[in-house]
Amino acid sequence: MNRRFSISMILLMVFSLFTHSGTFANVRVLAAEAEEVLHFKFDFGTEGSPVAEGYLEVTDKMIYDKERGYGFLEETDGSRDQDKPDDLRRDFILANNSEFIVDLPDGEYEVLVFTGSYEDRDTASFTLEGGETHGGERTPGGEFKEYKATTQVSDGQLNIYFTGEWARVNGIEIVQLADEVSEKDLNLMFDFGSETSPVEEGYLKVAHTLIYDEELGYGFDKAVGFRDRGTPDNLLRDFALADGAEFIVDLPNGDYFIRIIAGDEIAFNRSSFVIEGEDHGSITSQEGQYSILSANITILDGQLNIDIGENGRINALEIIPMSEIASLKLVEVSLSPETYVKLGWNAEDSADSYKIYRKK
């Protein structure tokens, strides 16, 4: 059949293969290491002035010592508190020709320096580890700047040297940069059921009593029920009865394609799912049948949250990391005599398959 249509396509690289059984093959995928990184936040100002929430207080007289692990090399030219506009920026240290020191493990760091004054002009600049100079833009009273730079620490200590005739420094944030994205095995397939029922090969077992904890990285927010019908296979024979419960999975931020499988060998099923706060409605199936809910979701807070409702049956959950193909291009379009579109892109060695979604 020949039809005219508008072309708007999103090509996603899906790190998995569909098999005839509806499960996914184990594959190699790219994911960021989920290591905890160091994040220091310092609020510079006067003694006694409010300290911004989550920040460490630094005064003009705070000299570096090993026990504390941070401070100035020597006393600065003083500090001021001008009451506005907030706890971080209301006060500052006059830091011209002053050096601030922080003990840190060797590695790469991103440094954010807050400068400015509510009433006075500012020209603060700084160097990291003796490198190039950053900042230095002249600002009038009431205007604040945030300068960002990266540096490598190789001697266990970060040295920040401030210059500028009017070098007013409000605060500093230091964030350890994680290693580059690395290749690792991720098993993002979950088989729900009882504590004793068999588990489908390649899947992680989720018993009805499994409660989420940070070390494990997945689980329910409370204990739920289950049923095991003994057939048709290890994946579909059993399920959790999780009406009113939430299933949680810790994930690196990014885009994911997920599938939820729900059904019952001997009963009608209607289960609803709210994923990352978005209502995806209900999926239904007759006895002996199993329905699938598919969704593309974006993780922004390091955690996938699925609220389960109605009958609350869930047999399996499959999570696939996705990455947009930046090299996608339109090669050829034909509307007559045959309707087709040819696309091209640079293949990725780590991708086992590609799926194309057409949007009207």
Closest Cα partner for 225 from 237, 243, 211? Answer: 243
Q: How far is Cα 185 from Cα 248, in angstroms, rounded to an integer?
A: 20
Same domain, 167 and 196: no
Nearest to 200 by CA among 212, 188, 192, 210: 192
Separation of alpha carbons 154 and 105, rounded Å: 8
345 φ, ψ to 5°? Answer: -165, 165
Residue 58 lies in a domain: yes
Question: Cβ distance 351 to 15 under 8 Å?
Answer: yes
For the segment 164-188, what is each residue's pLDDT rounded down to a tens digit? Answer: 989 999 999 999 986 543 333 455 8
Same domain, 190 and 242: yes
Q: Does 2 map to a domain?
A: no
Q: Provide block-wise average pLDDT over 10 residues at a time, the chain (360 residues).
A: 31 34 28 56 95 95 93 95 95 96 93 96 95 94 94 95 94 82 57 94 93 93 96 96 97 90 97 96 95 93 96 95 77 89 81 67
Residues 313/264, Cβ–Cβ less than 8 Å: yes
Same-domain pairing of 191 and 313: yes
**What type of residue sits at position 286?**
Q
- The predicted pLDDT at position 327 comes to 80
Asked, for residue 243, whether it belongs to a domain, the answer is yes
Domain that holds residue 162: 39-176
Q: Is 242 left (phi over 0), alpha (psi -120 to 50) or beta?
A: alpha
Ramachandran area for residue 67 (φ above 0: left; ψ -120 to 50: alpha; else beta): alpha
Whole-number Å distance between alpha carbons of 209 and 59:
51
Q: Is 233 exposed, middle or buried (0-12, 13-18, 19+ CB in 10 A)?
A: exposed
What is the residue type of 38? L
Q: How many whole angstroms separate alpha carbon 146 and alpha carbon 280?
A: 41
Separation of alpha carbons 58 and 42, rounded Å: 6
Residue 299 resides in a domain: yes
- Helix or strand holding residue 304 (H, E): strand 303-310
Which among 317, 348, 324 is positioned nearest to 24, based on CA atoms?
Answer: 317
Question: Residue 262 falls within a domain, yes or no?
Answer: yes
Which of residues 123, 143, 176 is at a domain's end? 176
pLDDT, tens only, 77-132: 999 999 999 999 999 999 999 999 999 998 899 999 999 999 999 999 999 999 99
Q: Do residues 16 and 44 both lie within one domain?
A: no
Distance CA 66, CA 19 (A): 59
- In a domain? residue 284: yes
Let me know whether 213 and 293 are in one domain. yes
Q: How far apart are CA 268 and CA 24, in angstroms?
A: 26
Residue 277, sorted as left (phi over 0), alpha (psi -120 to 50) or beta, turns out to be left
CA distance 102 to 72: 9
What does the pLDDT read at residue 177?
85
Look up the CATH number of the domain holding residue 45.
2.60.120.430
Do 163 and 216 lie in a common domain?
A: no
For residue 314, the model assigns a pLDDT of 98
Residues 248 and 291 in one domain: yes
Same domain, 152 and 205: no
Domains contained in the chain, number: 2
Q: Are residues 57 and 165 in the same domain?
A: yes
Do 170 and 193 have their domain in common? no
Domain final residue pick, 128, 145, 176: 176
| DSSP string covering 191-218 | EEE-SSS---TT-EEEETT-B--TTT-E
Q: Residue 89: which region, alpha, beta or left (left: phi > 0; alpha: psi -120 to 50)?
A: alpha
Residues 154 and 211 placed together within one structural domain of the fold: no
Domain end position, chosen among 135, 150, 176: 176
Identify whether residues 300 and 218 lie together within a single domain.
yes
In a domain, 170, yes or no: yes
Identify the CA nearest to 6 among candidates 344, 358, 326, 328.
358
What is the C-alpha to C-alpha distance for residues 70 and 41, in angstroms, rounded to an integer? 11
Which residues, including other chains, have CB under 8 Å from residue 68's CB and lie 6 or more apart? none
* Residue 165 covered by a domain: yes
CA distances from 163 to 77, 100, 123, 125, 126 (A): 12, 12, 8, 5, 6
